[in-house]
Amino acid sequence: MIRRLTILSALVVIASGAYICFAQEHKVPPATRVDNVAESLHGVTITDPYRWLEDQNSPQTRAWINAQNEYSASVLGSLPFRGRIRERLTQLLKIDTITAPVARGGRYFLYKRRADQNQAAIYVRNGLNGKDELLLDPNTMSADQTTSVQIQDISADGKLMVYGVRQGGEDEVTISLLDVDARKELADRLPRGRIGVSLKPDKTGFYYSRFTNNVGGRVYYHAMGTDPAKDMEVFGKGYGPEVFVGTNVSPDGHYLFLVASRGSAGDKTELYFQDLRINGPIRTIVNDVDAGFSTDIAGDHELERAQSSHSGCRSKRAPARELARNRFRRSVSHNRLLGSRRQDICQLS
């Protein structure tokens, strides 16, 4: 791996230097039209000079893309050693890949991509020594092989898999459910959107978050075999488009956990839960702390990691993360386990 990275770095340096030399001999890039569109967001005036480029299919945007591509081709096409660089990069990148498996009910679900494939396919293995069997191959779903698939959730017994289908590199997915034993899709489907799914252990339904532009995130519940258009909204009312919401059902099915994260950096995270056994009210874990939180669930305990900065685990200047434990019974008890040290807790298991 180190040798490959060294070779790749050297190729990038050579290509960058050659590009600079040859770019200086060519005309300047095509001019880009500037439209200073100004709007006020939460009291702050934002000026966007390239708003018109957001319409990918407009004649003006397509003409701009074509002009940029033509200019790039005129520069890159005359670079020395370009063929050799392409050949070497192809050797390094066109390799078979396999991911770590997800274990459910004695079955192992994993992604595999052959060197000659553009997209990773989903496989299942029955037992550690079983044969990898193909479940879904996105390479056959579109002529240009830009369609991909992703596992959203798998039931504890490994018999039901929720997966999303993505077209190109867009954020939105279409949600489907697969009967793993029968290799058959169920009738339950969610239309295209930015969606995250969490199954109930008894497989009678699932909770999912959906983010809608200009509206924000909401959490819904879908009962198996019902019309998705009638799914009940569970959480998120009142939040705007600056808030992203997520949901997760505890492994034993006792609790529903809900997360509201403000902004793409998640500088402030709110945590809530609901006792599904009694269909109890949604209750607050924390919503008054300016910190980002991430959680893990174990039985009646929820472990949370808090950080009051989004600088990341690797930053020496970032405030130390705290590790706390909440116990859910009749009430929520909050206990700090670790904290107040200049040391980040990045992961736990």
Report the distance separating Cα 235 and Cα 201, nearest Å.
20
Residue 87 tokens, joined: 């050949």
In this predicted structure, what is the pLDDT of residue 169? 84
pLDDT (tens digit per residue) in 110-143: 999 999 999 999 999 999 999 999 999 999 999 9
pLDDT (tens digit per residue) in 68-127: 999 999 888 888 888 899 899 988 989 999 999 999 999 999 999 999 999 999 999 999
Give pTM, 2 decimals: 0.71
Report the distance separating Cα 235 and Cα 272, nearest Å.
10
In this predicted structure, what is the pLDDT of residue 166? 96
Report the distance separating Cα 305 and Cα 293, nearest Å.
5
Residue 327 tokens, joined: 């116990």
Report the distance separating Cα 138 and Cα 111, nearest Å.
11
**Count of beta carbons in the 10 Å neighbourhood of residue 296:** 13
| List of residues 6+ apart from 9 with CB closer than 8 A | none
For the chain, the domains span 2-37+45-92
